[in-house]
Amino acid sequence: MVYLSMQRVRFSSPDGYEKFKVLFADVGNHLTKIPGFLHLTWWTHPNDPSWHNEVSFWSSFETLKAWHLNPYHKHSKEWAVRSGAIMEDIITNFELKNTRLIRVCPTCGTASDKSYELRQEQAVLKQPCGVCGFNFPVMPDTENSFALFRDEILATG
């Protein structure tokens, strides 16, 4: 089973968000050391820049709880609340039942729809078109995107 945690966070000001980013800048180093972490994406809502959204995937509910109890995470969140940087933090957790990849190759027009294991998402996304070999773009881990991926294959190898 895979667990998804979604947070919608509103900061009290643009300055509060900038301070939070500095404090939380090292999150990737901490997450990749947590057993059971699979994926994190953070983005700013395009129509309301005061709202920020985070989605993270975990191999179990226990590993998600361990992250929320992790001293680094707890300190960051407590600071953001105590300092007034965070105005609202709405957290919703889900149990993931399945994942599908639907693609249409822009070169040959071949459509595909297949199930895959989330724990191997990056490996699946890197697979080229089975007909013409087109390589689909894949979002890499980048310093400025707040996207962080950890496939099970990479985590154990």
Strand partners, 54: 7, 42
Instruction: For the chain, give every domain's residue range.
Output: 2-96
- Global confidence as pTM: 0.66
pLDDT for 13-27, tens place per residue?
888 888 888 877 788
Q: Name the CATH topology of 2-96.
A: Alpha-Beta Plaits (3.30.70)
pLDDT for 38-76, tens place per residue?
888 888 888 888 888 999 999 888 999 988 898 988 888
Mean pLDDT value across residues 133-146:
73
Mean pLDDT of the chain: 84
User: How does residue 157 score in pLDDT terms, banded at 50, 70 and 90?
Assistant: very low
